[in-house]
Amino acid sequence: MKKKRNNPETIGLHGGEYRKDPTTNAVTVPIYRTTAYQFDNTEHAAKLFRLEEFGNIYTRIMNPTNDVLEKRLAELEGGLACLTVSSGQTASTFAVLNVAQAGDNIVSSTDLYGGTVSLFTNTLSKLGIEIRYADPVDPYNFEKLIDKNTRAFYGETLPNPYLRVFPIKEVSDIGKKYNIPLIMDNTAAPVICKPIEHGAAITIHSLTKYIGGHGTAVAGSIVDGGNFDWTADPKRQPLFNEPDPSYGDVIWGKAVPELTGANIPFAVRARVCLLRDLGSSLAPDNAFSIIQGLETCALRMKQHCENASKVVDFLSKHKEVSKVIYSTKHEKKISDRARKYLSGGNGAMVGIELKGGIEAGKKFIESLKMFYHVANIGDARSLATHPASTTHSQLNKKQLAASGVTQGYVRLCIGIEHIDDIIGDLDQALNRSTKGKLKAVS
């Protein structure tokens, strides 16, 4: 048996089975720009379709470039299998649709990316899937919302704007009592957190962010931890325990472990049903870009986090800043979660509220010279965003308040530039933020 690798620096470069291209010996993973794959014979084709043998059929469902990325991501997250998809949004959509159908519900954290709130509130609820919201400050808020139709819990490891680390083990332990899997969006904390090791069943990523790291491709992934018993309570997980007429009446929870020898029905069902039907596959060109990013992700995360912690120290003492929001700067109970679940760094997102309020916030963003003003996170470059007017602008007042976005909040994603340049840019922009109208008043 292959020795298990634990070091993310090595997994990023060597994870999975790929060593060299089998036909050319190329070391860099080739982009397999092919739609279809020649079957050896009719029996071979039939076996592939019956899942009696695993192999390439059609690029909507699998591709050799994507396969290398999937194996590396599964290893990075400490899971058993992975499916890459066209975006982080697709990853969250698939993760929910793979367990829940009309009439079912999932219990989700209130601390969520704005696009996920929109997906849950608009599209998924129109499909008949109810999303119940629990404040993760108290993990038992999740338990209170469970009923017989609850199919999953959903949370984000390091959600902005609050930047409160999610109580992964506490919520997954509650889920285990009811056979409810925990799905974690780990987009903001690759390498520094492995939710599966703390009991999550599934992790998803927007690979567009830290894993890609260079702003060159939109992509998403779903990792199956292989640690959840999908058949323990058939009524709780009907999609894994009832015959599926769309695939020859297969019972996914039983058939997949029998066919593959691995407890990965979630990953297989998402691939062969959801990708088959919805088709939101990742283009192999984009998989290639993400593979390049993954090679240095561990190194970048280290630098991102080291820089962010220096920025937090600097901002905490700055005269124009009224509040600094960071994973370790909450009341003890919440900051302890950063210590418990993050290792090798505390994240690279930092929130600030300026003494001059919304006007100073806008002036500050417009005065930044090196930071980019974008609706994005996780780029190697430093980024600044005003969520109320961008990423969270489609939320109503109640949703905004629940997500913690105030009008004056500015989100900084600290990049990997030299720390002196990062602090220099922040300092000059903060000093300008009250120049003009506001300064004259004070």
Nearer to ligand PLP, 90 or 307 (CB): 90
Nearer to ligand PLP, 84 or 263 (CB): 84
Q: At residue 371, what is the residue type?
A: F
Cβ at position 209, least distance to ligand PLP in Å: 6
Nearer to ligand PLP, 218 or 384 (CB): 218
Q: At what angle do helices 64-77 and 284-316 cross, to 10 degrees?
A: 30
Nearer to ligand PLP, 30 or 115 (CB): 115
Radius of gyration of the chain (CA): 22
Q: Which stretch binds ligand PLP (CB under 6 A): 103-111, 185-193, 239-247, 249-257?
A: 185-193
Task: Say if strands 321-325 and 349-354 run parallel, antiparallel, or are unpaired.
Answer: antiparallel
Residue 25 region, left (φ>0) first, then alpha (ψ -120 to 50), else beta? left
Cβ at position 184, least distance to ligand PLP in Å: 10
**The one among 150, 187, 281, 433 contacting ligand PLP by CB under 6 A:** 187
Q: Which stretch binds ligand PLP (CB under 6 A): 180-188, 221-229, 301-309, 408-416?
A: 180-188
Q: How far apart are CA 428 and CA 364, in angstroms?
A: 9
3-state SS class at 352 = strand
Residue bearing tokens 């058993």:
80
**The one among 206, 221, 327, 403 contacting ligand PLP by CB under 6 A:** 206
3-state SS class at 34 = coil
Cβ at position 277, least distance to ligand PLP in Å: 19
Nearer to ligand PLP, 65 or 385 (CB): 385
CA-based nearest residue to 274, from 32, 96, 109, 410: 96
Binding-site size for ligand PLP (CB under 6 A) equals: 16
Task: Output the CA torsion sign for 400, 167, 343, 205.
Answer: negative
Regarding 433 and contact with ligand PLP (CB under 6 A), the answer is no
**The one among 30, 115, 234, 257 contacting ligand PLP by CB under 6 A:** 115
Residue bearing tokens 């004056």:
408
Cβ at position 220, least distance to ligand PLP in Å: 5
Regarding 403 and contact with ligand PLP (CB under 6 A), the answer is no
Which positions from 6 to 45 touch ligand PLP by CB under 6 A, shown as an x/- string?
A: ----------------------------------------
Phi/psi at 160 (nearest 5 deg)? Answer: -100, 155
Identify residues 372-391 at the interface with ligand PLP (CB under 6 A).
377
Regarding 89 and contact with ligand PLP (CB under 6 A), the answer is yes
384 Cβ contact partners less than 8 Å away, ≥ 6 residues apart: 365, 368, 371, 372, 373, 374, 410, 411, 412, 413
Output the DSSP codes for 193-252.
--GGGGT-SEEEEETTTTTT-SS----EEEEE-S---TTSSTTT-HHHHS-BGGGTTB-H
Identify residues 285-344 at the interface with ligand PLP (CB under 6 A).
none
Regarding 156 and contact with ligand PLP (CB under 6 A), the answer is yes
Residue bearing tokens 């790291």:
213
Cβ at position 405, least distance to ligand PLP in Å: 13
Nearer to ligand PLP, 194 or 236 (CB): 194
List of residues contacting ligand PLP (CB under 6 A): 87-89, 92, 113, 115-116, 156, 185, 187-188, 206, 208, 218, 220, 377
